[in-house]
Copies of this chain bind each other. A is one copy, B any other.
Amino acid sequence: MSQSLLLLSSSRVDDTPYLAHALPMLEKMIQPGSRWLFIPYAGVTISYDDYTNQVAEALGSLGGQVIGAHQTPDPVAALDEVDGVLVGGGNTFHLLHELYRLKLMDAIRDKVNNGMPYVGWSAGSNVAGLTIRTTNDMPIIQPPSFDALGLVPFQINPHFSDYLAPGHNGESRSMRLQEFTCVDPLAPVVGICEGAAIRRQGNALVLTGDKPGYLFEGTTQKEEIAPGSDISFLL
C-alpha cells in the first residue's frame, strides 16, 4: 500500500477562480495525458454535466483528462480505466448516499489503498476520513451509514473557521468539534482552513498550503498545526 491523497479544504480561497489555488498542489499528481474519474455526486443544485465541465476547465492547464462518473455506463468498472479519482465538494450526505447506492465505497477504497491517487475537496475530503460526523453540511438525505472511506484514520473538518456572525447565537465551529470530541474522544479531528490541504504519500502525512490546521482529540482542543507540518503521527 502506498496511498497518494490530496485532501483540500475547499475549491476556492477568497475570491480566486475555481480550484486555482490548488493547481500547484495538483500538478504534482495529475500528469499530462492521465485519465481521472470525477465523482460529481456532492453536487445538488448543479447538473453533473455542468459540474464535470467546470472541473475539466479548471484543471485544463495540467493536461489530464476528466471523465464524469455519471457519464460512464458503470462507475465501478470505470475505475479500472483511469489513473486517479477526483471527488468534488457540495453536500457530503448526498455524496455519501450516492457512493453507497452505486457500490463505489469498497471500489474506491480498494483502488486507493492499492495506490490509485485520490484528490478531494470539501465534501470530497470529508468522505476520505473515518466518518462524515464532522462535516459542516446539512443532512438533506440519509445515507445508510455515516462511515466514510477511511483513507486516513481520523476525521476531517473542511472550511475550518471560528468566525461567528455578530449577534448570532449558534455554535462556533470549535464548539461543534468539542461536542464531537465529547461523544467520541478517541477519534482525532483535523480542521483544515480554506487554502490548506492534507497530503498523504504512503506513511507520510503533511499539512500543505499556506494556512494552518487545527487538531481536536479528546481534551486537546484547537491545537494549531503550522503550515507545512509533518503530521504523520496521525497515521
Contacts and interface: CB of A to CB of B under 8 A. Distances in A.
A58 to B, nearest CB: 14
Interface in A180-196: 180, 182-184, 194
Interface string A152-172: 000000010101010111110
What is the copy number of this chain in the assembly? 2
Contact of A170 (B45, B159, B175): B159
Nearest to A170: B159
B135 A183 contact: no
Contacts of A15: 167
A140 interface: yes
Interface residues of A, number: 43
A182 B45 CA distance: 7
A138 B136 contact: yes
A12 interface: yes
26 contacts: A10-B170, A14-B167, A15-B167, A44-B179, A45-B175, A90-B179, A94-B179, A94-B183, A132-B139, A133-B141, A133-B142, A135-B139, A137-B171, A137-B176, A138-B176, A138-B177, A138-B179, A139-B139, A139-B146, A140-B176, A140-B180, A142-B145, A142-B146, A159-B169, A163-B168, A168-B194
